[in-house]
Amino acid sequence: MAFTFIIMDNMNLFIRNDKLGGPMKVIIIGNSAAGLSALEAFRKIDTVSQVRVISKELPKPYSRVQLPYYLKDRVDMENLFIRHDSDVEELNAEILIGQVTELDTTSKKIYLNTKQILAYDRLLICSGSLPFIPEILGIESSGIHNIWTMEDALALKDAFESQKRVLIMGGGFIAMQATWAAAQCSMETTLCVRSVIMRRDLDDHARDSLKERINTFGITLMEGTMPEKIIPNADGTLRVIFSDTHSIVVDKIVSAVGVRPNTKFLEGSDIEIDGGVLVNDFMQTTVQDVFAAGDVAAARTSCGNSHEVRALWPCAVEQGAIAGQNLTGDQVAYQGSLNMNVTELFGLVIASIGKFTQTEGFEAWTWYDQKDGSYLSIFLDGGVPVGGISLGHAGGVGILGMLRPYIRYHRYLGEQRPDDLEQELQMKLFPGLYADSNRFAMTFSSQPG
């Protein structure tokens, strides 16, 4: 039987649905976006259960996505942190520094590398992701860095200020930001990628524009190749031999070839994993009383895919909030993840949402600004937006933001392309507040340039 408790705490009314019949022992593995979002959501409902948060790094959480900006002095150290020291304590939770090495779902216990064994009634896995290590001979050599932890960023900060030559491996957001940071530090910079840059994040037109901008920074771009061997030299430099047998010598290497869900500690448990930890609409795993959220979770998407990992900060926050509510015994359904990225690369503002690659069969509404090369493309299926991409014009970011509910909830927009999409969206979303000012208007042409 489920019980509903009404709790008076500091003259505030809290309602907690507790299916276990009393205060619980709750453990949250992870102290970043998903874990903190879950803790906040949980405490809005349950103020009495014991909560322990396991953190394998600093007790003070920070933003990983901001680390490349720290390298190029766009963000200082203090602004990397996303919470104050006292925030978790104010939420009546205990932080334990350690790493989970094993989970026993039968006895409901977790084991830490600190030799601690902790019991739980309900468990939330927000263990995030880890850098992918490519299979390259010599990849463990000294002088090769990831850019994933605060420790990584501090080591690279020193290297970027004192070294001359760097190789960046990878073609995603982290690799591109690291490349931009290195170029701004006047380093001789080479970027290599197995296929093409931003393969999943840009369309062909945006990619070509980005390549042009990369060239203006004097960066050597090598697409379609990766190192086969890295050989340390006696003077501390690194000789890198590529698949076509040519080689270069660099002072440092940054490996940013992708991430993978942090699930190794779940090996041997009965939690089902397929790419990530499989969860249902309520962020529950295949084991009772165990939930997952964030980069480690394979959850439903708004476009209909039943299980997919979205290693994006907004998705982690959303999933964490749903999981936190459901840890209390509630049954709140997750509406599905929707990818949306906004970033600045080499002076270009780039934004994308939903489906914007492999869009054959979809209708495309496209605007080009002949003056500065900015453009906006929206893709629709029967009048329903499914995705879009914007490059170079700040107004495009706002339009994609307004399109988000249309894409996520499959709302009909129209069959005909409006001359002014921003005006159309403002009138539909804010009919009582719409004001005709500072609209994003681009001169339309059928081809760029």
User: Do 125 and 7 lie in a common domain?
Assistant: yes
User: Do 124 and 160 lie in a common domain?
Assistant: no
pLDDT score of 125: 98
Asked whether residue 445 carries a pLDDT value surpassing 60, the answer given is: no
Asked whether residue 166 carries a pLDDT value surpassing 90, the answer given is: yes
User: Do 207 and 265 lie in a common domain?
Assistant: no
Asked whether residue 234 carries a pLDDT value surpassing 90, the answer given is: yes
**Would you place residue 6 in the very low, low, confident or very high pLDDT band (cuts 50, 70, 90)?**
very low
374-411, pLDDT tens digit by residue?
A: 889 999 999 999 999 999 877 888 999 999 999 998 99
User: Do 90 and 110 lie in a common domain?
Assistant: yes
The predicted model scores a pTM of 0.86
User: Do 222 and 269 lie in a common domain?
Assistant: no
For residue 198, give both structure tokens.
Answer: 């931003």
> In this structure, what DSSP letter does residue 262 have?
-
How far apart CA 213 and CA 220 sit, in angstroms, is 12
User: Is 448 inside a domain boundary?
Assistant: no
Last residue of a domain, one of 201, 233, 257: 257
Locus of tokens 């874990």: 35
Tell me the CATH number at 380.
3.30.390.30
Mean pLDDT for 202-227 is 92
Among candidate residues 334, 433, 436, 438, the one with its CA nearest the CA of residue 393:
438
How far apart CA 210 and CA 196 sit, in angstroms, is 12
User: Do 180 and 95 lie in a common domain?
Assistant: no
User: Is 445 inside a domain boundary?
Assistant: no
Domain count, the chain: 3
For residue 159, give both structure tokens.
Answer: 């290297």
User: Do 29 and 119 lie in a common domain?
Assistant: yes
User: Do 27 and 116 lie in a common domain?
Assistant: yes
Displacement of CA 335 from its chain's centroid (Å)? 18
User: Do 412 and 320 lie in a common domain?
Assistant: no
User: Is 35 inside a domain boundary?
Assistant: yes
Last residue of a domain, one of 207, 242, 257: 257
Tell me the CATH number at 150.
3.50.50.60
User: Do 240 and 269 lie in a common domain?
Assistant: no
300-316, pLDDT tens digit by residue?
A: 988 766 788 988 888 99
User: Is 66 inside a domain boundary?
Assistant: yes
User: Do 101 and 180 lie in a common domain?
Assistant: no
User: Is 304 inside a domain boundary?
Assistant: yes
* DSSP-assigned beta bridge partners for residue 349: 344
Mean pLDDT for 275-299 is 96
User: Do 187 and 100 lie in a common domain?
Assistant: no
> Which domain range does residue 382 map to?
347-429
Last residue of a domain, one of 215, 242, 257: 257
How far apart CA 43 and CA 16 sit, in angstroms, is 9
